[in-house]
Amino acid sequence: RLPTMKKLLSLIALLSAALQVSTAPPTCYSRVLSLSKEITESFKELQTSKAVDSCVKTLPRLYLDIHNYCVLAKLRDFVAYPGCDTVLEVNELKEKARSLYTILISYCRRDLVFLTDDCNALEIPVLPPTEWS
């Protein structure tokens, strides 16, 4: 009975150590990357949703590339867009965009490197080969 208890305690200790290693805190970069992807996907879903108000079709395009310096202006424009204030999904999306903007200019300001400042690239995104249809 005692060897079984030792094995069980050893297994628990091993699993605890593995959990601590795999749950490292997110870096600024990983947080910004995941939030930008989440916002872009939410915007795509909002655009294709049948239940959403027609004003959603007038929203500025929201494709985000955090490696492009123009993403800051894109986020500002989207958050400041005056339409669709009555649509809950749009307000939630604007709040996420506002959070991303704040993270980019405040918390991660020194951690990020912008590789380009091509604003047109945010208007007509080039899709990776896996997203081509």
CA angle 111/112/114 to nearest 5° reads 155
C-beta atoms surrounding 45 within 10 Å: 12
What mean pLDDT is predicted for residues 79-85? 86
Q: Can you give the pLDDT at residue 14?
A: 65
Q: Check residues 86 and 99 and name the one with the higher pLDDT.
A: 99
**Can you tell me the distance from the alpha carbon of 51 to that of 19, in angstroms, rounded to the nearest whole number?**
41
Residue 95 has a pLDDT of: 94
Q: How large is the average pLDDT for residues 98-109?
A: 87
- Higher pLDDT among residues 31 and 16, named by residue: 31
